[in-house]
Amino acid sequence: MDHPDPVGSKRLDGWKSVATYFNRDRTTVMRWARARKLPIHRMPGGKQGSVFAFEHELAAWALRHDDVAIAADHVPQQVMLAATVAEPAKTRPAGIRAIRVPVIAAGCAALAVILAGDVAWRAGEAPAQIVERPALSLPRDPLVAADFVTARDMWARRSSRDLVSAIRLYESVIRRDPHFAPAHSGLADAWLLIREYGAVDDPTAYRRARRHAEDALRLDPRLPGAHRALGFVEYWWSGRAPSALKNFRRAIALDERDPQSHFWYANVLADLGDDQNAQREYNRARLLSPGSRTIEVEQACSHWQAGRDELALRQLSALAERAPEDATVYNCLAWLHISHGDIVQFAHAFSARARIQREVHLLRVSAEVEAAVRRDPRTAVGVLVAASRREIAAGARKSRDTPAFYASSMGERAMLVQLLTEASDLREQWYSAPVTRRIAERWRGDAEVQQLLRSLTPRQKPLIPTG
């Protein structure tokens, strides 16, 4: 069987390379493979065949085992703070020995000088000239502060492996300085992003993100990032749009120059159908973070959400050529194609996304959909709906709006009515305007569908201020 290298993930050949990755000996990693399901692949050739592993799979495995850490020399050099003297062993907490980035106190003193004017140490007062933006605080301990800065850098890189390292470092900072609120907020952000790489399931990631965002707010109610993270969880997992909007607005009021808050707020506004305010927030985010492809992709997708399908298709297709490794582009294209009843193009885009993310569940479902399309395209939507039902049963999906949209787009009325009825009986609330609007348009004149859809659409829209 062929094992193509995942996009953006390095392949490690042989037990020695895997052992070096963890800073352990060959015997240890071989034991982990036998007893602890370390993800090792074998080339054809029998018992003595060569072995290899992918870094992103090893990183995800390490995240689930608290006693395992990645060797420090595997931390990307671009985000390591230079050091010439190792940290004393007694200050290293258990479980993070290998991933620590040792920094001498002089290095952190230099860091404080570099950040002067924008950063206030918690032991002192914020510089007088900071009046609009909250001061960026650092822990008192220079070594802990260095780990916090490194964790932020790793989160910003947004690869699965860097996110694993960010989570480990944030957890280390919290163990050594449990009252430092920004570390809890940063950890919440890391959990929200790592779920996109399949390293952890949605229920676990959202639960941990919520816990750390709430911990951060208990420590510092005025922390913008904590309000932003909680807003994300409230909307995309808990389905509480009013609470989500309140948290996003609070985050922006506390720090109006944070591009991430404007960006995530824009995504929510676009899903709620408030296109005018969504475009305003996307533009503000892009002004504050010029050159961000992540924001550019989501804004292109928002054109489809607002009904500008041709514009969205042009922009997303261009982005797919420029950035073929971006999974979000193909996710947006998949939604666009199925909204037009094109299950073949949907399957291609869905499979491209799955190959990029290398997420086991997505790969399995995409293979099932591709096989159904080859046999009989009319059966593919049933495969999609069945997969969504399995996710609901497993607790990985909380509402039936997405499978209902699939059924509606492909003209499967009986399937749609069944899903609408189940959702209505369970009192689900569907805030996603692109979904409900397109279902309503597709079944205009169908009294049963319209009545069921009205029961699922919140009667009072969340208050969204303009301006």
CB atoms within 10 A of CB 13: 12
- Taking alpha carbons only, the member of 19, 150, 136, 22 closest to residue 83 is 150
Residue 387 in 3-state DSSP?
Answer: helix
Q: What is the arithmetic mean of pLDDT over 353-381? A: 94
pLDDT of res. 460: 61
* Lookup: tokens for 317: 């297709």
pLDDT of res. 124: 31
Query: Where is average pLDDT lowest: 13-17, 67-71, 117-121, 412-416?
Result: 117-121
User: What digits encode the pLDDT tens for the residues 142-174?
Assistant: 999 999 999 999 998 888 889 999 999 999 999
380 — pLDDT class (breaks 50, 70, 90): very high
User: DSSP secondary-structure letter at 4?
Assistant: P
pLDDT of res. 122: 32
| Contacting residues for 440 by C-beta, under 8 A, at least 6 apart | 450, 453
Looking only at Cα atoms, what is the longest distance across the chain?
74
Q: 0.85 cut: is pTM over it?
A: no
pLDDT of res. 63: 62
* Lookup: tokens for 465: 């201020």
464 — pLDDT class (breaks 50, 70, 90): low
Query: Where is average pLDDT lowest: 95-99, 133-137, 288-292, 320-324?
Result: 95-99
User: What digits encode the pLDDT tens for the residues 213-245?
Assistant: 999 999 999 999 999 999 999 999 999 999 999
Higher pLDDT, 106 or 255: 255
Write phi, then psi, for 88 (nearest 5 degrees). -60, 135
Residue with tokens 């009989």: 376
Residue with tokens 């230099």: 110
User: What digits encode the pLDDT tens for the residues 177-207?
Assistant: 999 999 999 999 999 999 887 778 889 999 9
pLDDT of res. 52: 81
Is the confidence at residue 427, as pLDDT, over 90? yes
Q: 453, 432 in Cβ contact below 8 A?
A: no
The domain limits of the chain are 16-20+23-68
| Angle, CA 384 vertex, CA 409 and CA 6 arms, to 5° | 115
- Taking alpha carbons only, the member of 320, 318, 317, 285 closest to residue 299 is 285
Q: 160, 180 in Cβ contact below 8 A?
A: no
131 — pLDDT class (breaks 50, 70, 90): very low
Q: 212, 194 in Cβ contact below 8 A?
A: no
Cα–Cα distances (Å) from 73 to 20, 21, 104, 159, in that order, read: 9, 8, 17, 17
CB atoms within 10 A of CB 461: 14
CB atoms within 10 A of CB 409: 23
